[in-house]
Structure 1
């Protein structure tokens, strides 16, 4: 595996000034009733009558403006993340953003009933997104939203939109669905056929080993458990072996836990591989070669801790930058990554790794 040489850097090292790819932008819709024109009956009536708003979070947020930063709300009173002009001013034009990949705040995959409705909503949201966001700025790329609980409908949506030049990934929620299960494999087959990344984003429905706990802080601390369990499911059920060209991005679930997972996973594979003979390589090899991890939310590491963790992992190709706009724990590019990291490593984190993951334009010179 090719790795950028890493040398010790002083805390006063030069700041990064090159292009950036933001891999996690949470656009949203100002009113869910705006999806009504894109829906047929009986789904349209549910929205027009206000009988459905969106799946609610199972807890209250402690931040003063809920899950979002205070300045991300438009003056119109619309939800944070629903106004392109405000996003443009606060992210696209404020930082050297080359591309911004929309991941949304809409997750039809967490709907536990009425799967046909979830699929219809996903399709309607995709149509709304194409009309109201993609046409406004060439820097904006997007994800296809599908309802994975209805794999056949999800595949139809991927076939419908998967070849659009501004579509780069399929977004699936990390919730209570073990996507390694062969039930979901048609989605992976369609994603590989269209050369699309599978983006796996945590949701409020992630549970730790003992549930969500009584407090929001318990859930927030335990979010990585969802990503760890999901990676285990994908590897053990042969997804990486079955779809050798498929790539993944674990979004907003951290990554400092990764060395432990890889070590433990490989150790158990060596002892118990007879149970999963279809997995032909060490789990760590699959994950290190095929999975990226968004930087937000990275713990408050200093530069030396970053370098130590990269040394433990043996590669600097795993990390893609994300702001998590418009959420309260937004990561500004000039603050989220330590100044003391080498320039080549910053280029990897801010730009090159995502460019390679999503198959964007040729690498710039560093």
Structure 2
């Protein structure tokens, strides 16, 4: 395989893209846990104010040697990266021609392994915080509805509460803990369908490889796509695409170069073993190619020829949507992540058209 670094990819010709951009994965956050207190009722409020709860204490996260954020994304006051609107505006919204940025958060109460009612309360509080402190400040921002899928009925109520608000354009479900094809989660999909919301999936530290939990952060980071593959397989074989024919899906921050292999393998096994899943009415690849999109980040460093070869193998130019993953260390800038030598119409689709279709933006 011919590989190049990002600068070499850009030197292969073509002009700088100057059209509109939709960024589908921006990780905003709060400054401290007490920011959520005004949005919580007792007894959940007291768990934070009296110091009984110190955060999710996520046991899944590896230690990353240099942290997980860009060095320049740390606000001067020491607040967490992604918590300062002015800095985010400067580094993303004003640096690139972004028409919409989809907020995906850095706090996922869905990873909490217990106290589901508290997880639900935190998700609801965080959604209110985002509405007041982020969406109210910039019309270019759109948000994800954070949920606690541990309690699907409560998650559905939260979707019904916020679904009518056009600033919330998708629900966000974590990859790594739950097999969403299980009918247990159907209330979540039913509510998303009622409000015509995109169903987005994003990896968490809970993603494991086929060998379990790796010893190092780099192992987890390399193996993230395995979680996305398992999630798509669960959705297909359990009939989610047939049960909810209007739903649209997006896989965030899990790459995409693995997709041809997964589609070929799914179709091959479907042809041989479809009697086991008679409720699946079409080839798995048809569902995915028509109704699932994939964020570009993290974009592998590869040649223009391999970019085009991948699109040829997939047979469509409508799958990819651009994402920066701000403020994380593997941030993809529009100037480096999508090669200038790609055809202009393909770059326009990746940067803008595909996401506009996914979310139904009327720009």
In structure 1, the residue corresponding to 2:87 is in which secondary structure? Answer: helix
- In the alignment of these two chains, the number of paired residues is 352
CA distance in 2, matches of 1:229, 1:145: 21
User: Residue in 2 aligned with 1:335?
Assistant: 336
In structure 2, the partner of 1:247 is 248
Q: 1:152-167 alignment to 2 at 5 Å?
A: 152-167=153-168
Output the CA distance in 1 between the equivalents of 2:178 and 2:11: 44
1:54 is displaced (CA, Å) by 2.8
Q: Deviations over 1:319-363 (max 9, x none)?
A: 00000000001111111111110110000000000000001115x
Pick the aligned partner of 1:61 from 61, 64, 72. Answer: 64
Stretches of structure 2 that go unaligned for 5 or more consecutive residues are 1-9
| Aligned equivalent of 1:52, options 54, 61, 69 | 54
- Give the 3-state SS of the residue equivalent to 2:202 in structure 1: strand
User: TM-score under structure 1 normalisation?
Assistant: 0.95
Counterparts in 2 of 1:78-97, with a 5 A limit?
Answer: 78-97=79-98
Measured in 2, the distance between the counterparts of 1:58 and 1:354 equals 30
TM-score for both structures, normalised by structure 2: 0.95
Aligned position for 1:75: 76
In the alignment, is the contact (CA less than 8 A) between 2:101 and 2:140 conserved in 1? yes
**What do residues 225-258 of structure 1 show as CA deviations (whole Å, max 9, x unaligned)?**
0000000000000000010010111000000000
Q: Structure 1, residues 111-131: CA drift from partner, whole Å, max 9, x if none?
A: 110000000000000011100
Partner of 1:230: 231
Residue pairs, 1:1-366, within 5 angstroms: 11-50=12-51, 51-56=53-58, 57-63=60-66, 66-361=67-362
Counterpart Cα distance in 1 of 2:270 and 2:57: 38
Q: Select between 198-207 and 52-61 the one with higher mean Cα deviation.
A: 52-61
**1:130-151 residue CA offsets vs partner (Å, 9 max, x unmatched):** 0000010000011101100100
Q: Distance in 2 between matches of 1:146 and 1:10?
A: 43
SS of residue matched to 1:40: coil
Q: Which runs of 4+ in 1 moved over 6 A?
A: none
Contact 1:237 1:276 in 2 (8 A): yes
Return the offset for 1:15: 2.0
Q: Is the 8 A contact 2:299 2:332 kept in 1?
A: no
Answer yes or no: is the 8 Å Cα contact 1:176–1:207 preserved in 2.
Answer: no
1:118–1:147 contact (8 Å) kept in structure 2: yes
By how many angstroms is 1:58 displaced?
Answer: 2.7
SS at match of 1:17: coil
What secondary structure sits across from 2:129 in the alignment? helix
Contact 2:237 2:277 in 1 (8 A): yes
**Residues 12-51 of structure 1: per-residue CA shift (max 9 Å, x gap):** 1122110000000000000011111111111111111232
CA distance in 2: counterparts of 1:301 and 1:160, whole angstroms: 43
Q: Given that residues 123 and 146 in structure 2 are in contact (C-alpha distance below 8 angstroms), is that contact kept between their aligned partners in structure 1?
A: yes
Q: Which deviates further from its counterpart, 50-59 or 153-162?
A: 50-59
Encode CA deviations 1:89-124: one digit per residue, 9 max, x unaligned.
000000000100000011111111000000000000
For 1:37 and 1:16, how far apart are their aligned partners in 2? 43
Deviation at 1:10, TM superposition (A): 9.5
Q: Does the CA-based 8 Å contact 1:288-1:318 persist in structure 2?
A: yes
Give the drift of 1:165.
1.3
